[in-house]
Structure 1
Amino acid sequence: MEINEGLYDKITQLTDMGNDVFEEDLDQAIEYYEKALELVPTPKTDWEASTWIYTSIGDAYFFLEKYEMAINALSNAMSCPDAISNAFIWLRLGECYYELSDIEKAKEYLMRAYLLDGKDVFEEEDDKYFNSLEVEQ
């Protein structure tokens, strides 16, 4: 099952607009992502587009240090197609839990990211996240 082409184009246009402003204005990026998500048919969790839209929303909230909101968006992403095999989603969830001082849950999610993608998934992240895993380097 696929989203019709016209609707898909509108969704990707909005997410691209969010990506374009991500570095300068995270709140504006979230607005674009949420508008894109509104266009995804229900149930949202049936569509691959929801996976990357929820992930983008969660990523933006992470950088805004709104970790609970990030966890909510990323958890929604995990209910969508192909998310369970996406190391980045596991990574961001782990980092959010780390920042909320839930270190045990953080380690669980960070380890899943590590098992999926190895140390590479941590390449552009603060060393504290990988170091919390206490794996041999």
Structure 2
Amino acid sequence: MKNGFDKFDEKVTSLVEKGNELHDNQKYAEALEQYQKAWQALPEPKSESELANWISACIYSAYFDLADYVEAKKWGETTLRTRGSDIDTAPLIDLGMVCYELNQYDEAYKYFNDAYNYGKERAFQDRPKKYLEFYLRKRA
């Protein structure tokens, strides 16, 4: 049985990696097609798969880069639900960013605050400075 799972894992991983290549080349819609295929391939309940967090984070990122913030928020919420550890602040920052872009500032602050409580300013590392600046301004 383990071999079947490994083959399945390989197939899904291959789809995501292909999507990541397309994403890196700014072909976001094509990347989304690969990510969606990977998501559809997950067994139910999808959220319990070890790959669910990775795939949903990729889908979130592609929608965010397309500036489709409503869809990005849905996938950001999935990423938060499927994260492996409470100290993984990336889904919180992602949701804060998308809420900020949707002008949902109170919700953005809540997510940023949760991330800040775990990782302080380090949680905002490699993210545009405007998000940390917003958080610190609103916090003051």
Same-fold call, TM cutoff 0.5: yes
How many residues of Structure 1 are paired with residues of Structure 2 in the alignment? 135
What residue is the counterpart of 1:36 in the other structure? 38
TM-score (norm. length: structure 2): 0.87
What residue is the counterpart of 2:7 in the other structure? 6
Q: Percent identity?
A: 26
Structure 1 residues 46 and 110, CA gap change in structure 2 (3 angstroms): same
Distance 1:13 1:62 in 2: 22
Distance 2:94 2:100 in 1: 10
Distance 1:59 1:128 in 2: 18
What residue is the counterpart of 2:18 in the other structure? 17
Superposed counterparts of 1:81-92, under 5 Å:
81-82=83-84, 84-92=86-94
State the Cα RMSD in Å. 2.0
What residue is the counterpart of 1:125 in the other structure? 127
- Is the helix fraction higher in 1 or 2? 2
Question: 1:130 offset after TM fit, Å?
Answer: 0.2
Runs of 4+ with deviation above 6 angstroms: none
Structure 1 residues 83 and 69, CA gap change in structure 2 (3 angstroms): farther
Q: Equivalent of 1:68, from 62, 67, 70?
A: 70
